[in-house]
Amino acid sequence: MKTMHNKRLLGLALSTALTSVALSGCTTSDASRSAHSASAAPAQYSHGIGSAEAAIAASPRNADYRALAASAYLEAGRFASAEQAYAEAIELGDNSARTALSHALAAIGAGRQDVALATLARWDGAMDAGDYGLALALAGRPQQGAHVLGNAIRQGQNTAKVRQNLAYAMALAGDWRAARVMAAEDVPADQLGARLGDWASTSAPEFYQVRVANLLGVPIVADAGMPTHLALANTPESQVQLAAADDFDTAFEAEDSDSDAVALAAYETPSDPVQTVALASDGVRYISRAVIQQIPARSEAQAAPVRVAKAEARPAQVSRAKPATKAPAKLVSGDHRIQLGSFLDEAQAERAKTVYAKKYPQLDSGSFQVARAQVNGKTYYRVSAGGMARASARSMCSTITAKGEGCMAYAGSTSLPGTSNKDVRVAAR
């Protein structure tokens, strides 16, 4: 699935994908047609979306499936659904810059510029500067985007792609004289006026959705978001996590744990059988078109190197300083453990182990374990961390459950129902 995800996910690595787009070729009439296409999603997108949604229904916490669905939504012009699905894929552990960039663009198209800017700030440094700068400009920070793109050119990325992205960012910032000079580096003189006119036709703030739709070459569709039952917050936790139970640690210490085994089995058994959904090879189409300003046919090699004048006053940078947070309480060492999640897929459990270690740094990363368990004929992979006193384990679970996540504290000497020592793997230190 990971390979399929990498090959078929939205081709928006703007480092390779911000290459030529309809942003530059959208006339006023083009923009009007896009804006008035807000109706039902075209029929050709229905099958791909349906396949992706079926995959999510079968495996609600699979980040790859949510990213695939997000790509299908985005190609259909359903920005709100795409933004939600990308955000949930990231929440489930998709940490690729491509997904983050796609999420930012979907958020811009959905009118959530604040979300887009937060995503871009988080992934600054992981994205190509040419992509990052244009995305900033589209998210309502054209001066900052122009600054990033100008620096990229000074530092060696003197390509037609970056030059045209810079010209467009300048235009969105209202600096049309500078935009004309920069665009002229790659646009023939007889096409320059039309190019700037196209940019001007959709430069008003209220055309944020048209700009993204034209950039990606997708329609604009009225969209209220993903189906409610597919939202990550509404998926049955029984498929992936154990319920928090403050008294489970003492309950499992009892010699006769039959009743506890029944309770645990009932919780871990999904209400609906997990099905394997085959995605048709041609079912979901993913955008592979480039996403930068359209470059004229003439060879880029013919363009002379550009010297970008140093700006007299640099635009204010957005501070990325994180708000001060209270340091987590130090855990007292002991022989208790906490179970953080239970997964139907071993690879997901291994990825989750890494996510949990980063999310809760107060836990000893070397104490993380993935234990295989057999419950009612099904195999589960449980992620836990240990090395803490009983009170610390219970306190840690309280902290985690307060965030709406599952956690269960128990004595380390206790074997939970369905597990055995040979089925436990300890994280490498």
- Going along the chain from its start, the domains and CATH numbers come out as 2-225 (1.25.40.10), 236-271+326-426 (3.30.70.1070)
Query: Could you tell me which of 425, 173, 138 has the C-alpha nearest to residue 314?
Result: 173
Across 138-161, b (16+ Cβ under 10 Å) vs e yields bbbbbbbbbbbbbebbeeebbbbb
Of 252 and 234, the one with more pLDDT: 234
The residue-averaged pLDDT of 217-229 equals 90
Of 80 and 352, the one with more pLDDT: 80
Of 261 and 423, the one with more pLDDT: 423
Of 282 and 114, the one with more pLDDT: 114
Tell me: pLDDT of 189 over 70: yes
Angle at 269 between CA 267 and CA 270, to 5 degrees: 105
pLDDT of 45 reads 64
Tell me phi and psi for residue 343, to 5 degrees: -125, 150
Tell me: pLDDT of 386 over 50: yes
Confidence of residue 425 (pLDDT cuts 50, 70, 90): low
pLDDT of 234 reads 75
Tell me: pLDDT of 46 over 60: yes
pLDDT of 406 reads 76
Average pLDDT, the chain: 73
Percent of the chain at pLDDT > 90 equals 35
d(CA 215, CA 217): 6
Are 248 and 56 a contacting pair, CB within 8 Å?
no
Tell me: pLDDT of 346 over 70: yes
Tell me: pLDDT of 88 over 90: yes
Tell me: pLDDT of 294 over 90: no
| Residue 195 neighbours by CB distance under 10 Å | 25
Query: Could you tell me which of 303, 21, 225 has the C-alpha nearest to residue 135?
Result: 21
The residue-averaged pLDDT of 232-236 equals 73
Beta bridge partners of 373: 380
Confidence of residue 399 (pLDDT cuts 50, 70, 90): confident
Which are the contacts of 204, defined by CB distance < 8 A and separation ≥ 6? none
- Kind of pairing, strands 336-343 and 378-388? antiparallel
Quickly list DSSP for 345-364: SHHHHHHHHHHHHHH-TTS-
Confidence of residue 191 (pLDDT cuts 50, 70, 90): very high
Are 397 and 407 a contacting pair, CB within 8 Å?
yes
The residue-averaged pLDDT of 159-170 equals 94
Are 133 and 146 a contacting pair, CB within 8 Å?
yes
pLDDT of 125 reads 85
The residue-averaged pLDDT of 211-224 equals 90
Which amino acid, one-letter code, is at 245? A
Confidence of residue 262 (pLDDT cuts 50, 70, 90): very low
84-98, 254-268, 328-342, 383-397: range with lowest mean pLDDT:
254-268
Confidence of residue 194 (pLDDT cuts 50, 70, 90): very high
Quickly list DSSP for 152-182: HHHTT---HHHHHHHHHHHHHTT-HHHHHHH
Confidence of residue 40 (pLDDT cuts 50, 70, 90): very low
pLDDT of 73 reads 94
The residue-averaged pLDDT of 360-368 equals 88
pLDDT of 410 reads 84
Tell me: pLDDT of 150 over 70: yes
Tell me phi and psi for residue 383, to 5 degrees: -105, 125
Tell me: pLDDT of 260 over 50: no
**Per-residue tokens: 413:** 């000497």
Tell me: pLDDT of 9 over 70: no
Tell me: pLDDT of 310 over 70: no
Tell me: pLDDT of 216 over 60: yes
